[in-house]
């Protein structure tokens, strides 16, 4: 009983920290309603001159990439909207000896989830969605769900919808609509009663995408382009491997110290766009983070909701909000991504207004570890 009490106290401290952070960044806007924003052309990012700090960051990245055997990486650090560091390392295409450039496109992996969450909060602000309404009321294809599930539960991984399962991951070249993607998992039993536990689920975000499409009467790809990319991250898009994009990095896997080129030219990520199917340059990943800090995508009140720890039915909390991982020990919100040919990390420090974005074309490359190392070097 004593250990349970101590655990509850730790959870309470973490929750209080984030609630304090949310109050700091958004107390004045708790009840603000806003009209849909007009698109902005670019996030306010300016070039910073070389400095001793940027040299430290470059040295740390160079060593990390060499030590880990990462094929190609790019790293961007922003502070107060200004570009502190933008470095490229290794190759976008090792076989052709083509180096990474500022225009190189990388997979986002699961950092796609904060984008989907931002879209949901936009529609909530516009009165078109409700976080706590049963999603079965938004789309007829969801009518057979065995229990009421809300968007809040889907975004916070408390819905009970399973994650990937052996033999049921679709890495084919088949182009799928979100409706077709639902067929991969929707008939499977829930892992637990919604709201009673926390289990990470990319498939839950396919349901989120389908709800968005049903309400907006537009494909998820268009929502990403019109409501996110055009507001300051122009290269952000849903990844379509069939589309010929010369700037796209080749994909590699790193396992047991050995690197293998992946032959995934025809692979299609349409079955999980919202949960792990976006791509962009490293600068535009960082710009997305800056847009979040600047409240260009959602209001401060919505950002407060996204960065508040989830609460389960028993009153306990977890360090995950709506689409974002929460790290109270360092005062940051973050998310990482890992899939074939991809390892990524995005860290936001609201108090210091810092953004750290790491993109690798090498699964297993250690992007989260590099991001944490760079974060520590900024002070």
Give per-residue pLDDT as tens, 207-254: 999 999 999 999 999 999 999 999 999 999 999 766 678 899 999 998
Of residues 260 and 225, the one with the higher pLDDT is 225
User: What are the tens digits of pLDDT across the range 15-24?
Assistant: 444 445 444 4
b or e along 22-31 (b: 16 or more beta carbons within 10 Å of the residue's beta carbon)?
beebbeebee
Of residues 365 and 17, the one with the higher pLDDT is 365
Q: What is the mean pLDDT of residues 347-368?
A: 97
SS3 (DSSP) at 15: helix
Domains, the chain, with CATH or none: 2-29+44-377 (3.40.710.10)
Return d(Cα 36, Cα 295) in angstroms, integer: 12
User: What are the tens digits of pLDDT across the range 136-191?
Assistant: 999 999 998 999 999 999 999 999 999 987 666 655 566 788 998 898 899 999 99
To the question of pTM greater than 0.85 for the whole model, the response is yes
How is the chain split among helix, strand and coil, in percent rounded to 5? 35, 20, 40
User: What are the tens digits of pLDDT across the range 69-78?
Assistant: 999 999 999 9
CB 89, CB 102: distance < 8 Å:
no
Question: 7-16, 203-212, 278-287, 290-299: which range is least confident on average?
Answer: 7-16
For the chain, the average pLDDT equals 87
CA nearest neighbour of 138 among 218, 215, 203, 206? 215
pLDDT of residue 264: 54
Provide DSSP, 113-150.
Answer: HHHHHHHHHHHHHTTS--TTSBGGGT-GGGTT-SS--B
pLDDT of residue 165: 78
pLDDT of residue 120: 98
pLDDT above 90: percentage of residues in the chain: 72
């Amino acid at each position: 009983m004593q250990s349970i009490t101590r655990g509850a106290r730790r959870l309470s401290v973490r929750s209080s920290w984030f609630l304090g952070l949310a109050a700091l960044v958004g107390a004045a806007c708790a009840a603000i309603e806003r009209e849909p924003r007009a698109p902005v052309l670019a996030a306010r990012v300016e070039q910073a001159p070389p400095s001793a700090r940027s040299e430290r960051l470059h040295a740390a990245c160079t060593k990390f990439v060499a030590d880990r055997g990462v094929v190609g990486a790019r790293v961007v650090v922003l502070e107060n909207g200004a570009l502190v560091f933008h470095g490229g390392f290794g190759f976008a295409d090792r076989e052709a000896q083509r180096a990474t450039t500022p225009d190189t496109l990388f997979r986002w992996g699961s950092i796609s989830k904060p984008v989907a969450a931002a879209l949901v909060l936009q529609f909530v602000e516009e009165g078109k969605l409700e976080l706590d309404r049963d999603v079965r009321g938004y789309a007829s294809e969801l009518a057979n769900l065995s229990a009421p599930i809300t968007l809040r539960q889907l975004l916070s991984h408390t819905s009970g919808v399973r994650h990937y399962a052996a033999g049921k991951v679709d890495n084919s070249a088949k182009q799928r609509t979100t409706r077709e993607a639902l067929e991969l998992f929707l008939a499977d039993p829930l892992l637990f009663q919604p709201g009673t536990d926390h289990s990470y689920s990319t498939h839950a975000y396919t349901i989120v995408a389908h709800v968005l499409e049903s309400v907006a009467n537009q494909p998820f790809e268009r929502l990403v382009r019109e409501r996110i990319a055009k507001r300051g991250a122009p290269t952000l898009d849903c990844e379509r491997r069939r589309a010929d994009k010369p700037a796209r990095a080749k994909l590699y896997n790193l396992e047991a110290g050995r690197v293998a080129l992946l032959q995934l030219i025809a692979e299609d990520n349409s079955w999980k766009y919202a949960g792990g199917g976006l791509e962009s340059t490293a600068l535009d990943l960082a710009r997305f983070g800056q847009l979040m800090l600047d409240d260009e995508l959602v209001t401060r009140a919505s950002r407060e909701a996204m960065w508040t720890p989830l609460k389960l039915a028993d009153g306990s909390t977890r360090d995950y909000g709506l689409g974002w991982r929460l790290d109270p020990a360092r005062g940051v919100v973050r998310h990482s991504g890992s899939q074939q040919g991809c390892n990524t990390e995005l860290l936001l420090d609201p108090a210091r207004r810092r953004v750290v974005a790491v993109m690798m074309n090498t699964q297993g490359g250690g992007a989260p570890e590099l991001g944490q190392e760079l974060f520590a070097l900024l002070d």
